[in-house]
Amino acid sequence: MDHAKIIADLGGYLAVARELRTPPNVVWRWGIVRCIPARRWPIMVAMAKRMGLPHITADALLAGYEPARQQHAADLARIREADRARVAA
């Protein structure tokens, strides 16, 4: 799930910022770059639970975490390259 959508579902960047005691512009940026810091996830999951939003979980946050996606893509590329080299040898 996209981090911007998660922030929106939690009431928007102002509501999330208030809950996390973080400046609103910081939370807004997380949505833009799709990168909510993992240390903030437990509070956001608890907030979602209080609001009755079962689709917002640590797994959903991980799935939308852009650095994790980039790492996954890099890992796949490395595996494919190793397979090609093994077949060529």
Q: pLDDT per residue over 60-87, tens digit each?
A: 998 887 666 666 666 677 778 888 888 8
8 Å CB contact between 35 and 63: no
Give CA torsion, residues 24, 27, 33, 38, to 10 deg.
Answer: 160
The backbone region for 53, taken as left when phi is positive above 0, alpha when psi lies in -120 to 50, beta otherwise, is beta
Whole-model pTM: value is 0.72
pLDDT digits (tens, 9 = 90+) for 4-26: 999 999 999 999 999 999 999 99
pLDDT digits (tens, 9 = 90+) for 50-61: 999 999 999 999
CA angle 79, 84, 87 (to 5 degrees): 125
